[in-house]
Amino acid sequence: MTCCRQGRCFADNRCGCGSQGNLHAGANNAGTSDVISSKNINMETVYFKGNPCHTCGNIPNVGDKASCYNLVTPELKEINCHDLKGCRVVMNIFPSLDTPVCAASVRRFNVEASKLDNTTVLCISMDLPFAAGRFCTAEGIKDVIPASAFRSPLFAENYGLELVDGPLAGLLARAVIVLDEDRKVIYSELVQEITEEPHYDEALDVLRHTK
């Protein structure tokens, strides 16, 4: 994987990630972009049907203070970290509801969410809010909040979850991140094989045993 000239650049000339699967460098003194090694990038390797692909950045670790987020509900209303202040948040993150595994994860968390005290489940993808709304209406899903990151590139960047190569480039990787009332990460899983479901019970056990 090499760097190219098109894509996101940073003010301090760090290498950045683009949504088309390439790595990008900042401009040099001549005003052009340098081609640099991908080893300067923090990346995670995940797999899609056994084939490696990569994310731009790293998923937050347990103990980290998670970045604020700004997402969009099916009603086209914004929802952000301040709206859920003082509440535990489960971020169920996935590529698209139009895949069986992603849809299954939403159904599972919908069942479990009603059993959790002071907990909100956000089901986050790059799907348009309209599509998420249709899915939840058709499935009778009422106990989770579908949240689109389609106009929030900072979410993918801050949480290190944008896929930058492979067939799903530009979408979000599959992950579960659980935040406590102060937005501290208490559980973090980047699912290694995108076609597999996350470890629901591990995430739920953390919530059950964290007061």
* Identified catalytic residue from 15, 102, 123, 136: 102
CA pair distance 116, 28, nearest whole angstrom: 52
Residues 68, 85: Cα–Cα separation, whole Å: 10
Q: 50 burial class (0-12, 13-18, 19+ CB within 10 angstroms)? A: exposed
* Residue 102 is a catalytic residue: yes
On the CB side of 166, how many CA atoms lie within 13 Å of its CA? 22
* b/e sequence 174-187, b meaning 16+ C-beta within 10 Å: bbbbbbbeebebbb
Q: What phi, psi does 159 have (nearest 5°)?
A: -100, 0
| 184 CB-near residues (< 8 Å, 6+ apart) | 63, 64, 65, 66
Helix or strand holding residue 142 (H, E): none
Which positions are annotated as active-site residues?
102
